[in-house]
Amino acid sequence: MSKRLIAFVLTLALMVLALLAYLLKKNGVAGTTTPAPRVAATTSNGSAETAPTSRLPSEGESNPKLEAFISKVRGVLSARNRPIDFYGKVVDQYGSPVPGVRIDCQVEYYGAIVHPDYSWSYETLALESDGNGLFAIRKRHGVMVEVRSLSKQGYEFERGDLASIESYSYADLPGGKPAPTISTATSPVIFRAYKKGQGAALIHEEFSVHCEPDGEAHVVDLLNKRVLNVTDVGGDFKVAFQRPAILQPHDLYDWTVEISGIDGGVIESTDPFMYQAPENGYNSKWRLEMKASSPTYRADVTRTFYLRSRGGRVYGRLKIGIWPNYQGKSALFIDYWLNPNGSTNLEDDHGHRITLERWRRSQANGK
């Protein structure tokens, strides 16, 4: 459970309990004491009338005690806010600053709202990076900064959509310890951008490979979306899985996967902008070994690679989901972009993509 969620639950519980205690007290309920019954009083003319009972104020009616209680809760929450000075810098793939980037962000803080369903308030900001790629949020008080999106025509951003919001907490750590410094004017948070160039006509496809986890190699042919035998000619890489043949539900088990190049190789990469493949430095084999005893054990992983195949006639970038146990077999789920023209340019020109059918026709025509 995240620190933010824990803080929210504790705050909500405190507010609900305090409000219940107040309402019980207001209605004359204390512990298990039974409320006093309504008492019939006798007037001077001998008629009986019922003594009035306490009630909650109607909607719109002033209630000084409740207002005082809400003010107190608001003060308790506001005391949790901390000074916020956040500094960021946008740089491109060459490390150069990017001016004129729009940054949409929010500052979250306590105190303006006291409500059983939520307690945070938000200040929405639209900033722009200066000539040095810098931007800042200064002299605010709150508990969180969220950078929600970055945008500028001609650029792609590492954190450019709502699926990849970056959050930076200023709230105290458990025990009241201050949160560590997130950024300073001389050490800003770096946001990476990619300056788009001339896109290339690429093949973009998805393909899944299912094979036995027996250590035997299987040839993956991405240009024809098929799995070949190791004795067949062609293909782009080989894959082999190894794990126990029989598994029980929820078992942890040792497993390995090995990817081998065919007339080329692979390079694993964590670069979010894999738009220019290296010309050299490809590995003939990539291997992952997962031990059941490892504290970082995963039953499946996702990795990204540069690919060089077919003697350098094909370069590509691959995003591969690796599943050692999938419906009784092992599987790769591959999302890939290929440049079949011998170029290392992997920046996708969406309007000029090459379909596999078109590529096959060009091969049949000898082009």
Phi, psi of 109 (to 5 degrees): -150, 160
Q: Say which amino acid occupies 108.
A: E
Residue 4 has pLDDT above 60, yes or no: no
pLDDT of residue 44: 42
Q: Quick one: average pLDDT of 162-180?
A: 83
pLDDT tens for residues 190-234?
Answer: 999 999 999 999 999 999 999 999 999 999 999 999 999 888 888
> Which overall architecture, per CATH, does domain 82-195 show?
Sandwich (2.60)
pLDDT bracket for residue 28 (50, 70, 90)? very low
- Identify the pLDDT of residue 268: 98
* pLDDT, average across residues 231-252: 92
* 349 contact partners, CB below 8 Å, separation of at least 6: 198, 199, 200, 201, 202
Provide the pLDDT confidence category of residue 365 given band limits of 50, 70 and 90: confident
What is the arithmetic mean of pLDDT over 249-257?
94
pLDDT computed for residue 119 by the predictor:
63
* pLDDT in the model for residue 362: 83
Is the model's pLDDT at 77 over the cut of 80?
Answer: no
pLDDT at 50 over 60: no
The whole-number pLDDT of residue 10 equals: 54
pLDDT of amino acid 40: 40
**pLDDT, position 37:** 42
Q: What is the pLDDT of residues 114-135, one digit of tens each?
A: 555 556 788 999 999 999 999 9
pTM of structure? 0.72
What's the pLDDT score for residue 176? 84
> In angstroms, how far is the first alpha carbon of the chain from the final one?
57
Provide the pLDDT for residue 53.
45
Strands 255-261, 237-242: pairing kind: antiparallel
Q: Residue 251 above 70 pLDDT?
A: yes
Q: What percent of the chain has pLDDT over 90?
A: 62
pLDDT at 363 over 90: no
Mean pLDDT of 88-93: 95
Q: What is the pLDDT of residue 78?
A: 75
Mean predicted lDDT score pLDDT of the chain: 84
Nearest to 325 by CA among 347, 299, 345, 287: 299
Structure tokens at 35: 């409320």
- pLDDT reported for residue 315: 98
Q: What are phi and psi of 287, to 5 degrees?
A: -135, 140
Q: Does residue 259 carry a pLDDT above 70? A: yes
Is the Cβ–Cβ distance between 304 and 269 less than 8 Å?
A: yes
Average pLDDT over residues 33-56: 42
Asked if the model's pLDDT at residue 311 lies above 50, the reply is yes
- Rounded to whole angstroms, the Cα distance separating 179 from 195 reads 34
Mean pLDDT, rounded, for 320-344: 97
Check residue 294 and give its pLDDT. Answer: 96
Q: With bands split at pLDDT 50, 70 and 90, how would you rate the model's confidence at 319? A: very high
Residue 149: predicted pLDDT: 92
pLDDT for residue 165: 77
Convert the pLDDT of each residue in 267-284 to its tens digit.
Answer: 999 999 999 999 999 999
